[in-house]
Amino acid sequence: MLRKVEFVALIVFLGLASAAFADQITLKNGDHLTGTVVKSDGKTLVLHTEFGGDVTVQFAAITEITTDKPLHVALKNGQTVVGAIKTSGGNLEVAPASGAPVETPKENVVAIRNDADQLAYEKALHPGLLEGWNGGANVGFSLTRGNSQTENLSLAFNAARATKNDKLSMYTNAVYGTNQLATPSTTANTEAGGIRYDRNINPRMFGFVGADFMSNALQDLNLRSVGSVGLGYHAIKSERATLDFLAGGNFTDENYTETVTDTTVTPPTTSTMKVIHNYGALTLGEELVHKLGKSTVLTEKLYFYPNLTETGQYRGTFDLGWVTKISKWLGWQNQFSDIYVSNPPPGARQNDVVLTTGLNFTFTH
């Protein structure tokens, strides 16, 4: 009987000892939580508990906090203090391994990170050129036989590398279609691609520079090259949605092939000639990214390019798409694009509409 009591006492002692050396927080409603502080962004705090997993609480709802291991505390003045944390008179006190404790109001805390999160944060500030990329590839294909003989293929790739201070993004897409029972047999043949670099000026403003390229065989467009520079503004920037407005200027170089028919001779002859348009234009646009629920992401872009060299001429683009996740790396993608040119070559239409659907393969590096 004595041994049983001693065993129970030992278990109780070990339980109390483990609790004594765990991080503890007290909320305004009097609740006490015990675990390990993982991180905080100054708005919420994540506490890892033994049986409940990660628990997220509002940082403003915490009245007392005590940690037994050093944490990295980032303050609004740019200073980062490393040490165990406790509350003192409504303020947060950080006790470094050496030197006097640092006391600050809770409102001055920008972030709290453990060693692993601090290492990831520092790495994110200056990642290698091949690190931090997110993106995906889209593939769509259709085939018909019998009363019709068509093949349609759409390919797209996009990638972005965002850090605390800048963002580098790239994209490319192609649509090709044929109808063997029609003349001409090619029904679609477009390629586009581009790259853009954004640099943050402050939390809301950023500067950008980019280059875009496009060809459209059915519009007799051999190549359109556009170099842009300007400023952007984050009207909305949250975890669920971002809305950016952009304004700047660009230089556009267009290379068309125009077919000319000479009717002054018998029989009439046809020949081709290159038509080149070089002009400066404005870049005016907006971009929206919005998460719809847990599995769907909506993207929308609208751009308007007024020609400054030939006033009255312009170009406009509109893109709308969404991706619904099927698994961690696989999703279903739909994309609608409308490209309008006010002055195409004679015989070519001003508007090109492209609708694609298919599988999306995501990656993270």
Tell which of 70, 101, 125 closes a domain.
125
Q: Which residue has the higher pLDDT, 356 or 265?
A: 356
269 pLDDT higher than 60: yes
Mean predicted confidence (pLDDT) in 147-172? 90
CATH number assigned to the domain comprising residue 208: 2.40.128.130
Q: Are 106 and 227 part of one and the same domain?
A: no
Q: Which residues pair with 63 in a beta bridge?
A: none
What would the pLDDT profile of 289-326 be if each residue is shown by its tens digit? 999 988 999 999 999 999 999 889 999 999 999 999 99
Model confidence at 235, pLDDT cuts 50, 70, 90, reads very high
Instruction: Give whole-number Cα distances, 163 to 127, 169, 171, 352, in Å.
Output: 8, 12, 18, 35
Provide the 3-class DSSP secondary structure of residue 120.
helix
* 205 CB neighbour count, 10 Å cutoff: 12
76 and 159 housed in the same domain: no
Q: Phi/psi at 145 (nearest 5 deg)?
A: -140, 160
Residues 110 and 148 in one domain: no
Range of the domain at 161: 133-364
Mean pLDDT of 337-356: 85
Q: What's the distance, CA 246 to chain centroid?
A: 16
Return the H-helix or E-strand segment holding 145. none
Q: Which residue has the tokens 């509002």?
A: 58
**Are 254 and 180 in the same domain?**
yes
- For the chain, how many structural domains are there in total? 2
Same domain, residue pair 171 and 251: yes
Same domain, 152 and 110: no
116 and 145 housed in the same domain: no
> Position of tokens 């940082």?
59
Are 321 and 334 in contact, with CB atoms under 8 Å apart? yes
Domain boundary, last residue among 125, 142, 158: 125
Task: Spell 91-106 as b/e; 16+ CB within 10 A means b.
Answer: ebbbbeeeeeebebee
Residue showing tokens 């029989």: 267
pLDDT at 267: 78
142 and 161 together in one domain: yes
Contact yes or no for 106/88 (Cβ under 8 A) = no
On the question of pLDDT at 88 being above 90, the answer is no
